[in-house]
Every structure is written in structure tokens, then in C-alpha cells.
Structure 1
Amino acid sequence: MSSKIMFSNLRAEMARENITIQDIAKVLNRSRETVSSKLSGKSVLNLDEAFKINDTFFPKSDLRTLFSELIVKNEKSA
């Protein structure tokens, strides 16, 4: 079983900017547990949520870089 960390670029930026999962949960109007599940890949993080996180916390960062795993996953399913 793989222990790959999902959204590693996002998590690195969160650490640099002191953004917590709870901060993101508030913006998405979700529980901390739900957001944690989404960021760990256990449940689906949709593109609308990715855009909201990007626009709110990391407006100067490229969405494709922060959410590269999500972009690749969507391209494969298209």
C-alpha cells in the first residue's frame, strides 16, 4: 500500500504561510475532518474547492502547481 502524500505542494505552502486545515475548513464551510480527508486523498476534493483555496489563501500561486495531483487525475478521467 502506497503512503504517498497528496497535495504535497499545497501542504508545503500551507506550512510556509501558517495556514491550517481548520482555516481551509472555515472557508469551504466544511468540518476539519472532511477537509483533512480531502487533502489526504480519502475523499474527493473538487475543482471548485481547489479554486476557492487557491484564490483565498494563495492567489499568487499557480493552481496547477498546488493541486497537481487533482489536475492529473481529472486529465486521466477525461
Structure 2
Amino acid sequence: MSLTTYPGLLEFIADKAEITSAELQLDQTLETINLDSLTLIEISLYIEREYGLNVPEGDLRLDQELGEWVRYLDERIG
């Protein structure tokens, strides 16, 4: 499992956090990189647009690690 499986999403999150994608780690949450619930909505919309996956409210949360997000996407897409 790797964040690089979803490079566009990785870049999108890093851009929102104003950091480089290389700084993102699987054990980080959106909270630890100082993102908020508005950004969570933007990320959900990005996932829907780029991967054709509707993300129901509550499936992805600020307190989940990015590794959990990758597993979620792997399960739903793959």
C-alpha cells in the first residue's frame, strides 16, 4: 500500500496543506497537516471527479490516517 498509488490525490492534498507531496506519510491525518472539514469536502469532490467514486458523508474523516484513505480507495476502486 502506498500513497503513490494515487499521485493526483496526493498532490491535491499536499497543495491544500501547503506542503510537498514528499512530506506526506501514511500515518498522518488531515488534522496533523492542519486541514479542516471544508478541505475534506473538497477532497471528497476531487475523488468523485477523478476516480468516479461517490464518497458518502462520514466514510472519510479528518482523524483517519492517510493509509486508511488509501485502503478505502483500493477497496472501492480496485
Category of TM-score, reference length = shorter chain: 0.3 to 0.5
Q: TM-score, normalised by structure 2?
A: 0.43
Instruction: Report which of the two has the higher share of helix.
Output: 1
Larger Rg: 1
Q: TM-score, normalised by structure 1?
A: 0.43
